[in-house]
Structure 1
Amino acid sequence: MHTIDLLLGQLISISVPAFAIASMLSMGLRTPLRAFRDQLRDRRTVLSVLGANFVVVPAVGTLLIWLLADLLPLQTGEGFVIALCAAGAPFVLQLGAMARIPYGETAGPMAVLLLGSILFMPLVVPFLLRDVSVDGWAVAQLLLGTMLSPMIAGIVIAAVWPQRADLFARIAGGAAAVSAVLMFLSGFGAHSVFVLQLLLSPVMLVAVGLVALAFAAGRFAGDLAGDTLTVGDGPAILTSQRNIAAALLVARTGAEDGDGSIVVAILLLSAVGFVMLVPYALASGYLRRRRAGEQATLGVLLGVVGPRSD
């Protein structure tokens, strides 16, 4: 049993950076520089989305976690706080495709949020954590090396070899998907007893509440956004799905987490968000396609076939 736990621990140590690098590379290959330029021109949308992701969600969410600290065992609350500070999840691109949101309305804001996370997390996370210590400079170095650098590399590759960008993006996306599966299996498998305890505790209700809070904040940001935003619930999906790669990287940069509770908490909150958002994205995408008179096959609904909605 000890050998299995050791192997699972090594697997998550490998799968977390692999997932971050592959997902950021895939995002860069799919997100041209014009997505940044076009999005930054709409200052109203940028400010509303940044406010929801880096002010409302971390501030209100952290306050709720502190108030409900007695319901959260061990360092679960710290894991939730780290996740709430991480925005710009690459999986938002797939959720946006499912929900029939124009590609630019997810790719542009998501890229801006990713850059915001790289600046925000090293400065804010160390001050919000109570029982663990995180080195802000180590966080900045790790995020720059494993998230920003692969994204820039993807953008450059797409600019140099545009005809092969989609193929490279699919390969990187496949590697990210495999890494994500291994990450969840190893993270939950190495702490299966603790995971079962959390599933039968009020922690699940807290996780659902935090995802709902993020969705509400994002929906309100959508109402305040500028004219470039045509689908109001796009920022809600964008805000609800936190950046698990960034959160896990930060959690493993100096925090003493021998029992794995912080990692498990981040994985759990991400899984809850996934379970809540995928049905919503599929349902909203189906309704939008029906109204537009489009074919709503399974492949189209999942966003794996058909043209992008831009």
Structure 2
Amino acid sequence: MHTIESLLGLLIHISVPVFAIASMLSMGLRTPLRAFRNQLRDRQTVFSVLGANFVVVPAVGTLVIWILGPLLPHQIGAGFIIALCAAGAPFVLQLGAMARIPYGETAGPMAVLLLGSIVFMPLVVPFLLQDVQVHGWAVARLLLGTMLSPMIAGIVIAAVFPQRADQFARIAGSVAAIAAVLMFLSGFGSNSGLVVQLLLSPVMLVAVGLVALAFVAGRIAGDLAGSTLTVPDGPAILTSQRNIAAALLVARTGGGDDSIVVAILLLSAVGFVMLVPYALATGVRRRRRQGERATLGVLLGVVGPKSD
């Protein structure tokens, strides 16, 4: 049993950076420079989305976690706080396709949030978690190397080989999907006792509440956004799904116990369970309204156009 747990622990240390690199490479391959350019020109949207993700969610969420601290096991709250500080999840692109949100309205803001996370997390996470050893420069270096660099590489490759960009993106996306599955299986499997304990505790209600808080903050940001966003619930999905890759990479630099990793995975899983049905139901409604066929492949975003 100890050998299996050791192997699972080793697997999560490998799968986390692989997931981060592959997912960001895939995102870069699919996101043209014009998505960044068009989004940055709409300052109202940029500020509203940045405010929701880097002011409202971390501040209010951290306050809630501090208030409910006695209900949370050791360092679970720390894991939640790290996740709340991490924005710009690549999986939002898939959720946006499910919900029939134009591709540029998820890709552009997501890229802006990723850049924001690279600046925000090294500065804020060590301040909020002074009892956890997190070094700002180590966090920045890790995020730059495993998230920003692959994204830039993907953009460059897509510009040089435009005919093969989609094929490369599918390969990178498949690697990211496999790494994500291994990441969850190894993270939960090596800490099965703690996972069972958390599933039967108020921690689950706290996780649901944090995801709901992020959704509401994002929905308000969507109402306050500028003209480049035509679907107001796009920022809600964008804000609710936190950047698990960035959060896990930061957690690795802190040297905390495995409960931080489990907390990040748990919050991400709760967000996934809550957001996927919403995105699918919303996608069905929008496609029927526009007279489109709502087949399973189209709803899951694996066939058909990218939604723009």
Counterpart of 2:110? 110
With structure 2 as the length reference, what TM-score do the two structures score?
A: 0.99
Structure 2 residue identity aligned to 1:38: N
**SS of alignment partner, residue 23 of structure 2:** helix
**Distance in 2 (alpha carbons) for counterparts of 1:235 and 1:296:** 23
Q: Is the 8 A contact 1:56 1:217 kept in 2?
A: yes
Structure 2 residue identity aligned to 1:266: I
CA offsets per residue over residues 41-66 of structure 1, 9 Å max, x none? 00000000000000000000000000
User: Which aligned pairs between 1:117-266 and structure 2 lie closer than 5 A?
Assistant: 117-257=117-257, 260-266=258-264
CA shift, 1:237, in A, is 0.1
CA shift, 1:133, in A, is 1.6
CA offsets per residue over residues 234-261 of structure 1, 9 Å max, x none? 000000000000000000003332xx10
Structure 2 residue identity aligned to 1:305: V
**Distance in 2 (alpha carbons) for counterparts of 1:185 and 1:152:** 29
**Distance in 2 (alpha carbons) for counterparts of 1:13 and 1:194:** 19
Q: Is the 8 A contact 1:58 1:85 kept in 2?
A: yes
With structure 1 as the length reference, what TM-score do the two structures score?
A: 0.99
Counterpart of 1:82? 82
CA offsets per residue over residues 123-177 of structure 1, 9 Å max, x none? 0000111431200100000000000000000000000000000000000000000
Structure 2 residue identity aligned to 1:88: G
**Distance in 2 (alpha carbons) for counterparts of 1:228 and 1:19:** 30
Give the alignment partner of residue 270 of structure 2, picking from 254, 257, 272: 272
Q: Is the 8 A contact 1:29 1:157 kept in 2?
A: yes
Structure 1 residue identity aligned to 2:82: I
Counterpart of 1:298? 296
Structure 1: gaps of 5 or more residues: none
**Distance in 2 (alpha carbons) for counterparts of 1:297 and 1:254:** 44
Structure 1 residue identity aligned to 2:41: R
Q: How many residues align?
A: 308
Structure 1 residue identity aligned to 2:271: G
Structure 2 residue identity aligned to 1:262: I
Q: Is the 8 A contact 1:78 1:130 kept in 2?
A: no
CA offsets per residue over residues 199-243 of structure 1, 9 Å max, x none? 000000000000000000000000000011100100000000000
Counterpart of 2:34? 34
Counterpart of 1:55? 55
Cα RMSD (Å): 0.5
Structure 2 residue identity aligned to 1:174: S
**Distance in 2 (alpha carbons) for counterparts of 1:171 and 1:29:** 11
CA shift, 1:309, in A, is 1.6
Structure 2 residue identity aligned to 1:280: Y
**Distance in 1 (alpha carbons) for counterparts of 2:208 and 2:69:** 16
Q: Spell out structure 1 runs of 4+ moving beyond 3 A.
A: none
CA shift, 1:110, in A, is 0.2
Q: Is the 8 A contact 1:110 1:238 kept in 2?
A: yes
Counterpart of 2:285? 287
**Distance in 2 (alpha carbons) for counterparts of 1:32 and 1:262:** 35
**SS of alignment partner, residue 230 of structure 1:** coil
